[in-house]
């Protein structure tokens, strides 16, 4: 087991879902953006780093039928499946490191990530992430990326993090994605702290090389 996987297994084994700093009962902003991206509930959605998030519950309750949830922690995935009960069978569950897992090409219409990208502090990690997204998101599909903003914390869950403004995040995603929207959100942690998040929406385009 890699050190990264061990870290997140330990987090999800030792902390209740409501005790982690990123906990939010419902991801209202993400849900609103997903519904804005497409009113068609058959769109293919992947929640990257979904962990124990309730986004999957809310997507199912709204009638979305093609949902994948990816997380490095099997503990988190199994906990979410137990919470969902019988409807867990409607979801495609993926366990693995995003930078290494094989994802189907041109599979997804909407790629959602809340609080994964800012943990990728190495250039090669970020490059691998962008390559995965570019390969698996359909042309004209969308990325919804929520990461720590310029005033966000430099450490979270015992790990160093990166912080971004919209221009810096666009530069990470290069010529294959175009920034279409960005906003600053303030998240209140279970302990009452405040974290600044930057939420950006990108559309998948063809790079000049294509």
What b/e readout covers 112-141, taking b as 16+ CB neighbours within 10 angstroms?
A: bbbbbbbbbeeeebbebbbebbbebbbeeb
Name the β-bridge partners of 95.
71
Spans of all domains in the chain:
1-8+24-121+130-141+150-173
Cα 21 to Cα 210: distance, rounded to the nearest angstrom = 41
Which helix H or strand E contains 71, and what residues bound it? strand 66-71
The secondary structure of 170-186 as a DSSP string is HHHHGGGEEEEEEEEEE
Classified as helix, coil or strand, 105 is: coil
For residue range 148-178, list pLDDT tens digits in order: 999 999 999 889 999 999 999 999 998 899 9
**Token output for 94:** 């993926």
pLDDT band at 73 (very low <50, low <70, confident <90, very high): very high
Nearest by Cα to 30 from 54, 61, 63, 52 = 54
pTM summary value: 0.93
* CATH number of 1-8+24-121+130-141+150-173, picked from 3.40.50.150, 3.50.50.60, 3.40.50.620, 3.40.50.300: 3.40.50.150
Cα 136 to Cα 11: distance, rounded to the nearest angstrom = 28
Nearest by Cα to 204 from 118, 109, 102, 129 = 109
38 or 131: which leads in pLDDT: 131
């Amino acid at each position: 087991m890699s050190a990264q996987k061990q870290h997140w297994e330990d987090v999800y084994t030792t902390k209740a879902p409501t005790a982690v700093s990123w906990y939010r009962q419902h991801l209202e902003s993400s849900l609103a953006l997903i519904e804005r991206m497409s009113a068609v509930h058959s769109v293919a959605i992947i929640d990257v780093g979904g962990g124990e998030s309730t986004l999957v519950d809310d997507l199912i309750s709204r009638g979305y039928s093609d949902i994948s949830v990816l997380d490095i922690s099997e503990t988190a995935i199994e906990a979410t499946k137990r919470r969902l009960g019988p409807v867990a069978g409607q979801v495609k569950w993926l366990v693995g490191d995003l930078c290494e897992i094989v994802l189907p090409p041109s599979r997804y219409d909407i790629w959602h990530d809340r609080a994964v990208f800012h943990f990728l502090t190495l250039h090669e990690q970020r490059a691998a992430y962008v390559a995965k997204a570019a390969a698996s998101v359909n042309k004209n599909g969308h990325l919804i990326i929520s990461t720590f903003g310029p005033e966000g914390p430099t450490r979270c869950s015992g790990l160093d993090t990166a912080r971004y403004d919209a221009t810096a995040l666009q530069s990470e995603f290069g010529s294959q994605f175009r920034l279409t929207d960005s906003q600053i959100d303030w998240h209140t942690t279970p302990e009452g702290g405040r974290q600044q998040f930057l939420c950006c929406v990108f559309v998948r385009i063809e790079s000049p090389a294509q």
